Structure 1
Amino acid sequence: MNSKAVQNKPKANNGADTAKFVVAGLLLAASVFAYYWFEGQWSTLVRILTVVGGMVVSALVFMTSTKGPKLREFVRESIFELRKVVWPTRQEAMRMTWIVMIVVVIFSLILFGFDAIIAQGIKWLLSR
């Protein structure tokens, strides 16, 4: 969440914010609709630019709401936290991949054995 000591109380969602969310969603949906509707009439580049433009405009409308600054702060803090991640080396990743594959094979064989035993038991019960 937030690294600040004092947390602000969440504000009630007012009608203007709801209208902004609806407008942003409609803009995005309209741009995607236009992409498919004008498939034979517009070039692919123009249709792609329509979708990108719709995404940009809907993001700008969303950022003017009360949730916009919170989203921006969340993204900024997420990027900051991603910089702290220590990624495994190639050798460590390969070693872990082999371990996972071996464990999957072992458990698959165990489940196959249980399935075979249960199937034989059911066949034996039904043949009586």
Structure 2
Amino acid sequence: MNAKVEQASGTNAADIAKLALAAVILVGGIAGFYYFSGAAQVLRVLGLLVAVVAAAFVGSQTGPGRTLRFFLRESSIELRKVVWPTREETIRTTGVIVVVVIIISLILGLIDLILKVVVMDWLLKL
């Protein structure tokens, strides 16, 4: 884990303007996708992808965008440290969970049946 102290930073006017520009680019790309419905599907999707990439680039230049990029970079580093279970461990663990769920459901069903008999047959017949 990275031991850097994060500074609380507010979003300034330039960041807000950049985020608004990114939103306009994204909405423009979506609007263009539907406006040019007569054009080839490949061109429409390509235009939409260009707009999404451009909006992501503009958004990544803001304070929140830099924070997100830092978080994603640190997350990928942490994911490389994870020791994933083997297939056999996963199957064994899943089997144990299934057995425990069945046992607990039978116990809860039995408790429900006992309470039903007690309430319906004994208490309500008085």
Q: TM-score range by the shorter chain?
A: 0.7 to 0.9
Partner of 2:12: 14
User: In the aligned structure 1, how far is the partner of 2:115 from the partner of 2:14?
Assistant: 61
Aligned-residue CA RMSD in angstroms? 2.7
Q: Which residue of the partner structure matches residue 101 of structure 1?
A: 98
On the 8 A contact 1:38/1:47 being kept in 2, the answer is no
Q: Quick one: distance in 1 between partners of 2:105 and 2:47?
A: 49
Unaligned stretches of 5+ residues in structure 2: none
Give the TM-score normalised by structure 1.
0.75
Number of the residue aligned with 2:72: 75
Percent of aligned pairs sharing the same letter: 34
Given the two structures, how large is their TM-score scaled by the length of structure 2? 0.76
Of 72, 87, 91, 1:90 maps to: 87
Contact 2:11 2:64 (C-alpha < 8 Å) held by counterparts? no
What's the CA shift string for 1:3-37, capped at 9, x where partnerless? 144x24222211221232233234334434554x3
Closer/same/farther in 2, CA of residues 19 and 41 from structure 1, 3 Å limit: same
Give the Cα–Cα distance (whole angstroms) in 1 for the partners of residues 8 and 83 of structure 2.
34
Is residue 25–residue 55 contact of structure 2 (8 Å, CA) maintained in 1? yes
Alignment-mate amino acid for residue 114 of structure 1:
I
Helix, strand or coil: the match of 2:7?
A: coil
Q: 2:23 aligns with which of 6, 9, 25?
A: 25
| 1:90 to 1:8, Cα distance in 2 relative to 1, 3 A | closer
Structure 1 gap segments, 5+ residues each? none
Query: CA separation of 1:121/1:46 partners in 2, compared to 1, >3 Å: closer, same or farther?
Result: farther
Structure number with greater Rg is: 2
